[in-house]
Structure 1
């Protein structure tokens, strides 16, 4: 099945605080240039005190709606991706819909957490709902504030991540027989999980296991930790076969793909993608140096960047590719 969906508009939000790697070196007593050398990130945005997850999501969705020529009252659903929600309840989606002045009784909304592949998961969910007639227009937004959960004793984690939000508004693509092969559509999508790598990327505290009632012995349980080497080994082992299966489902080859929009996982990961996966490395969107790894917001922010810089045009084939905790892989091929 190729859901006839169209990206009607994209949007993003960049938090107010610009933090350079040189500042991190000075702040945490590192050798000059160490933060950039270990992360590939020259600067990233971190949220200020008033910049909440819902505020960032609202701003990104509002821009996507404006670019689509729509308003919140035109939405049937809002799907929010975030590793750490603003609060347990009500959901970030509810808070964002309230800020958008969405009319009551018109729109449903919910949050999901699929780690760094949350945006692609939300996109698949929205496309399925549109294809089955459940919804007509859906906003999918990823809003991530990584900066509040970083262990600055670990250079890789401290220097790699940035905050931000990215959104798309999806609608049904109207097509007829003569243009069915050129009209916008989700040609294929796929998600796979290798849970043997579950401990390689994690935050142990903050849920029902460790919290204010049952605190951990080590407060660093509330902070993000990762083993980049284990993650990269799993990615290198599984991505080629995973992509082959996806492209076969879509009926295209890598040479047919006009643009690759990957999760901005790390400099090493992006270099691997350029060298091993695509025959056209210049087609890979790489915004890591200016944004950092924005968790599930990486892909929609990079997608919005591609649209607003005229790297992505109507009729182009675009590959979205994400890796996340688990280890999880998610990808989608769309005709934009």
Structure 2
């Protein structure tokens, strides 16, 4: 979800509801102690008790391979008020893996142990240290060894994405492997992978034995998914309401990034929404060719069900420095 699900979208998604915790996008740790500003840039919620505007706590996720450096940076972000520290051993991106980060470390359970151990030792006991893993790099052969290494190092919770690195994001997710891991460790296990609907969540619970779920792409495709899983909604937003949210997100981005980056964010979100909404499939085909702000303005203003007058919309687009209306969600 890197490059899309950042603090801006966390704000919107958590205001919709149903989410108990968030994890930030990973912050890459190489061989230096990062400046405070790096953490604030990725997780501005640190300025607000490490919670979104809706009050949902956010764990700060770190990615790296040097146990000492990871521990030092974890201690630094803990001193800034982090709600929790999450360690990423699941990212399958080739560029990350080539630099000895993410899922490639699943080949070295002893390194997993050292990273978690040093991090846990460096962070106050009141701040949870958790980890995310996949089932392995090329195979599931060391899946249980990796989970035990994370537990042994002091991880209080382990999120298991039920695929190997080589599986990428191709269906299916092997939830039965999460059940195998759950039997071998005592810490809390959270199931992750291929949860797009309430029915998927029910099946994942039944197969994995996990009561807790982490959802990434499924929440972007259907922002009401958590509410549906918890029984607080029966169906997704109507497309008109979802398009209104897209509009507010577009306005929110105006004072934060350049036009091309804004266009990219809306296109990315529409791509995921097209899994849930037939209207989004049609719109994505048109929108992916947009190259300027005016085209996106016209698209997002068209047929809005939010009851916003056209002239007010135009003024909002011109008032780049004004406070974002996203707070009205």
Same fold (TM over 0.5): no
The structure where helix makes up a greater share of residues is 2
Larger Rg belongs to: 2
TM-score, normalised by the number of residues in structure 1 = 0.25
TM-score, normalised by the number of residues in structure 2 = 0.25
The structure where strand makes up a greater share of residues is 1
